[in-house]
Structure 1
Amino acid sequence: MSEQLEQAIIVGLHINDRPQADFDYSMDELASLAEACHISVVDRLSQKAQRINPSHYIGTGKIDELRAMAEAHQVETIIFNDELSPSQIRNLEAELDRKVIDRTILILDIFSERAQTREAQLQVEVARLQYMLPRLVGLRASLSRQGGAGGAGLRNRGAGETKLELDRRRIEERISMLQHELERLVATRQTQRLKRKKNEVPVVCLVGYTNTGKSSLMNALLRYTDPDTTKEVFVKNMLFATLETSVRNIELPDNKSFLLTDTVGFVSQLPHHLIKAFRSTLEEVTEADLLVHVVDYSNEDYDKLIEVTNQTLEDIGTTGIDMIYAYNKCDLTDTPYPAVNGNSIYMSVRDGAGLEELIQSIRAQLFSNYVKCSVLIPYDQGGIVSYFNEHGQIFSTEYEENGTRLEMECSQIDFDRYKEHFIDHALS
C-alpha cells in the first residue's frame, strides 16, 4: 500500500505593484516545493493588497474564506508563500486551528533531506535553528498537529522537533557550536582554494536555477573529455538534488585544463538564513574565473529563472565575473541547436549536442592570454622543456646545435616566467 501524502492549501499575497506573471510563477513554484516535501497541494488562495497584513499576513475576510476552504478539503496544513513572522504564525494558528508553515521552512526541509556531506548538514542545521529560534512558541503549536494524514509531509522534521524542546539558551549554544565546527571546515576549503590559485588552474563555476541540468552538464563534459571517467556526480530530476559543491578537473586535448565546479541551485526568495549559512559554499562562485549560467530553455518562464539567478549572484558578490549562458533542454523546444550566439550556447545535454561549442567558448574566455611562440631552450635546461611539454601545446620539437627548439602555445605567464632562460624566442 502506497504512503498517503499529507495534503495542504497554499496561500499567497499579491502585492499590487508586483507583475501578475511573477506572482503566478511564485505560487506554482511554492506548489513544487511542497511536492518536494511530499505534500500534495489540493487548493490555493490568493489576495491582492497594497501590503502584507502585519498581524495575519492576509485580511480577516480571507482568513474566514481560508478556514472554510480547509474544512471543505479536510486539510490540516496551510502553506504561505512568504516568510512569516513569529506573531503571524501564532495568530494564524489561533485563527485557523491548523498547522501553519511558510515558504522558508519548506526550503529548509528540502535542504535537510538532501544534505549529504558534513558541511552541508551543518549549514542546513544552523539555518534551520536560526529560523526556528524566534518562532518557538508558534512552531510548538504546529508540532502538536503533526502526524496526521499519514505523517508523510515534512517527514524529516524529527530532528527539528527534538531541537524545539530545548530552551532558547541551549539552542543558541547549539548554533554557536555548529558554527565553530563550520569555521574549521571553511578553513580547510579556503586552503584548498589557495592551492588551486597557486597552481594557476582556472576555475569555471556552473550556476543556475535549481533543476536546470547543471550536474548533468558537468557529467556530460566529464564524459566528453574523458570517456572512461569514474568521477561523475549525483544527478536526479528534482529540486535541490545537489547541495554539495563538487569540483572536477577537465583536461583538454592541448594540455590545457580547468576546474569545473557544480554548486547549489537557486530559487526565488531563497531564505536569507540559507544564503548566510551557505556563504562558504557560495564563495566558490565569487572566486571563479568564469561562470556558466545553465538555463532550462524549455521552461516558459526561463527569463524569470535567469533574473532570479542573476539577482542572487549579485547579492553574493559576483559582479565583474565573465559569464556564458548555456541554454539547455533545447531538444524540448523548436529552437535549432547546437547554436552559438555571442556568449550564449543553445544546446541539449541529453543529446550531447552543444558540448563542443560550450568547451570552445570556455576555452576562448579562459585562455585568451595564451601566445604562440618559437623558443630555443639550452640543453642544460631540460626541466623547462619537460614543463612546457606538460603545460603547453607543442606543435613541433627540433634539436639544434645549441638547444631544443619548441614551436608551441603556452600561457603568457609561463612565457614571461622562463623567458630569461631562452637562447632566443619569438612570438607568432
Structure 2
Amino acid sequence: MKNFILGLQWMLFIIAASIAVPISVSDLYMLNPQETLILMQNTLFILGIAGCIQGFFGHKMPISESPAGLWWSVLSIYSGMIAAGYATNIEVLQIFSGGMILSGILFIILSVTGLMDKISVFFSPVITIIYLLLLTLQLSGTFIKGIIGINAQNQVIEPVTAVLSIGVIILTFCLGSSKNKRIRQFSILLSIGAGWLIFMMFNKTGKIIFTDKIINFPRPLAFGMPKFDPGMASTAFFITFLLIMNMLASISIMGSITGDNEEKLVEKYKNSGLVSGINQILGGTFNTVGTVPVSSSAGFVAQIGEKSMVPYLAGCILVSIVSLFPKFINIMASLPAAIGYSVTFVLFSKMISMALFELKKVIDEENSYTIIGISILAGVGISFLPQSALNGLPSIISAFAGNGLITGSLLGVILEQIFLLKKRRAGKKAA
C-alpha cells in the first residue's frame, strides 16, 4: 500500500509538471477539442512508457521524464511560421515529428559508438553548479508568474490565486520538514491534494475538455506521417546535443543523492542516451513533444526522502494507465497550474541547496569561481533578452541564443577546458 501511495504521488508530480505542455501546444496550433484530447492522451502515455523504459533499461534512477523545454521552444518558433505560409498547423506538427525521429536516431548513434561517454567527461562539479543555478534562476520568473496567476490570457496579478499559492508553498515546506517520516514522504501528494480542494472552493480550477468516451487508446501518427524537412533536420541535430547536456545534468544531480560513483554514472549515461533515443522516436511516432529526464526529480526525491525505484516505476505505469481514460484526463486538465508552480517552487529551492553542496567538490577554487561567475552572468543576461531580439534568426540559432541555461552551461564547459589546458601546459613547462 505504501508503494502504491508513493507511486500515486509520483504520478501526480509527473502529470502536474507536464500537463501544461500539450495544452499550450493546442493553443499555439489551434487544435480542436478532439485533437487536443489526442495530444494530451498521447503525451501522458509516452511519458509513462518513457519513464518505465529508463527505469528498467536506461539510467535506472528515479528521474521522471517530461516534455523537453527545448522541443517546446522549437514548436513555439515554428508556430509563428504558419501565418507566414510555411505550412498548415498539422503539417508543422508532422515536420516536428520527423525532427524528433531524427534526433532519436542521433541519440542512439552517439550511445552505440561510445561518443556519449566522451561527452560526459565535460560534466564536472563546476558545470553541475552552473547548470543548477542557471536552471533555477531561469525558471524562477516562470514560477512567480504562475504562482500569482499571470499567464497568456491574464497579464495582471490575481490576488486570490497568489494568496492560495503562497499557502500551498508554506504547506509544502512544512510537510517536507515534518518530524514524521510518513508525512515527509507524502508531502507532495498531500500538498497537491489540499491545494486542489482549496482552489476548487474558490472556483480556480483549470481547463476541462469534454468527452463522452470511457476509454480511448493512444493513436500513433494521429496527425499524419512524419515529414522530414531540411530546416528541422538541422535544428534536430543541434537540439540533440543540448538535450544530451540536460540528460547528463539530471543523472549527475540524482547521482549526488543516490551516492553513485563516477564509474556507475558513466554506464548510466550510455544506457540513458540509448533509451532517450528510443523515447525521442516514440515521441515523434505519437506526435508528442520529445521527453527528457528532468532535474527537478532530484528536488522531489530530496523533499520526500524516498530513493526507491518501485514507487517511481509504479507512478510511471499509473501515468500510462490513466492516459487511457479521457474522463480522467479531464480531471487532470482541471488541476490549477498555480498548484504545480507552487509545489515545483519548493522542489527547485532544494536544487539550489544541491548546487551549493557541489561547491565542496571544487578543487581549483579561484579559477572555478571565475568560470561560474562568468557563465552565470552570461546565462542570466541572455535569459533577459526580449523574444523580439531573436526575430529573423534561423530557428536553430534562436533555440540556442535564446536559452540562457544552455548558453551559460556551454560557456562554462569551454572556459573550464581552456583553464585546464593552460594548467596542463604550465605543468609541462615546470617539468
TM over 0.5: no
Higher relative contact order (CA 8 A, sep 6+): 2
**Which of the pair is proportionally richer in strand?**
1
Work out which of the two has the higher radius of gyration on C-alpha atoms and give 1 or 2.
1
**Which of the pair is proportionally richer in helix?**
2
Tell me the TM-score normalized by structure 1.
Answer: 0.25
